[in-house]
Amino acid sequence: MTLISEAKKGLSDLICEVAKLEGVDPEKLRKQIADGRVTIPYNPIHSPKPLALGEGLSVKVNANIGTSPDHADLDEEIQKAKVALEYGSDAVMDLSIGGDLDQIRRKLIEVVDKPFGTVPIYQAGIEAAKKSAVVDMTEDDMFNSIERHAKDGVDFIVAHCGITLESVNRLKNQKRIVDLVSRGGSFHTAWILHNQKENPIYENYDYLLEMAQKYDLTLSLGDGMRSGCIYDANDRAKMQELLIIGELVERAREKCVSTIVEGPGHVPLNIIESNIKIMKSATKNAPYYVLGPLVTDIAPGYDHIVGAIGGAIAGYAGADFLCYVTPSEHLSLPTVEDVKEGVIAARIAAHSADLARGLGWDIDIEMAKARRDLDWEKMFKLVIDPEKARGYRDQRKPTSEEFCSMCGDLCAIKLPKKYLRGED
């Protein structure tokens, strides 16, 4: 039984647990899940801590980790996963393409107690490339890889079903500056052009849905045509893929399979809101997952900030799930510290969006009161990164423990307390 089929029958323990975590009405949540507007990525084999994505809920954050052919260190990836969870990531994805992929995935699933995602086409393509080339993947290679990941307990997988003969032809006529930046999208596009055949996971989508039903696997319908620079954003190639994905979302709902829809990468500020609204309309309010989005192309080294700017706006406009961006985006494989910085930036974006949507105000109010009272210990307990906050305070010690070294006894908070409030 899948999450959606269970929700159609009535309330379950899982739905009630998530409703309590989110502070929402269980019956309303049940209806949203039954309609496919909310999903809980939850493979019973893994049984992660429950997490809900979708309409009316708080914005969540995902952290991508994974090896590369140049750097495949399992211990480091485990540390990245732990740091991502420590600093508040709601989910973790393994995008490994170097080393023993099965071992890496299985070890990470053991470490990650929250929803865990993968991109099975990576493994299918890499294993085909070891024999000849990525474009020599077979249909069986693709589906066997998906099932292998599901059997290991993966909760949600990326499936680039919107990369089809039709959307690839649209891409050929688009004349983008940057053709493709999605690795999975490029695998499927190259396969289609080389073999002059339809994408097998689109052509045999019903079989994919059967597999998803079997493992209660959430399908994250991948944005293979996402823009790799802001100039290419919201173009015809991406819109063609979106229209196809919208149809696939409806087919999945008919089979009681949960879906997430993935969105753009690089998008200028002024069209983020329209992108979200178009995507939500075309997919009938499926949970929406965005990478960033990145709002300028000129800030490598600071792309976690660029992504947080876009993520805050996207979350406010209706995006449900933000994929973090690290400082090393476009430059190198992230380090453990990069993962930390990326998660924190994305959490700030998600929380900012929640506030604008009327959610999560309690902690900001508590922080304001702690600042009013110059209660430093309480402030440090409330901040996202207590270690960094303490470090800044300690690097320039104030003359009085009551104040900071910015204003000293001319503290802008202290003076009004005495003269406005009449407090000592």
CB 74 within 8 A of CB 107: yes
Pairing of strands 53-54, 38-39: antiparallel
pLDDT value of position 403: 80
What gap in Å lies between CA 108 and CA 288, rounded to an integer?
Answer: 25
- Contact between 192 and 165 (Cβ < 8 Å): yes
∠ CA 367-368-370, nearest 5°, is 65
DSSP SS3 for 165:
helix
Reported pTM: 0.96
- pLDDT tens, N- to C-terminus, the chain (424 residues): 899 999 999 999 999 999 999 999 999 999 999 999 999 999 999 999 999 999 999 999 999 999 999 999 999 999 999 999 999 999 999 999 999 999 999 999 999 999 999 999 999 999 999 999 999 999 999 999 999 999 999 999 999 999 999 999 999 999 999 999 999 999 999 999 999 999 999 999 999 999 999 999 999 999 999 999 999 999 999 999 999 999 999 999 999 999 999 998 999 999 999 999 999 999 999 999 999 999 999 999 999 999 999 999 999 999 999 999 999 999 999 999 999 999 999 999 999 999 999 999 999 999 999 999 999 999 999 999 999 999 999 998 888 888 888 888 788 888 887 778 777 6
Report the distance separating Cα 148 and Cα 151, nearest Å. 5
pLDDT for residue 21: 95
Phi–psi pair at 230, nearest 5 degrees: -65, -25
pLDDT score of 14: 97
Q: Which parts of 262-400 fold into alpha helices (H)?
A: 272-282, 303-317, 336-356, 361-372, 376-382, 386-395
Yes or no: say if 87 and 347 are a contact pair by the CB < 8 Å rule.
yes
What pLDDT is recorded for position 420? Answer: 81
d(CA 290, CA 315): 9
Instruction: Give me 130's structure tokens.
Output: 């070891």
Give residue 378's pLDDT. 97
Contact 134, 190 (CB under 8 A): yes
**Whole-number Å distance between alpha carbons of 92 and 62:** 6
- Sign, CA torsion 409/412/416/419: positive
- CA dihedral 374→379→380→386, nearest 10 degrees, is -120
Q: In this structure, is the dihedral angle defined by the CA atoms of residues 246, 248, 254 and 259, taken in order, positive or negative? A: negative
Contact 262, 292 (CB under 8 A): no
CA distance 383 to 122: 37
The structural domains of the chain, ordered by start, are: 3-356 (3.20.20.540), 361-419 (no CATH)
pLDDT value at position 424?
67
**Do residues 121 and 145 touch, judged by C-beta distance below 8 A?**
yes
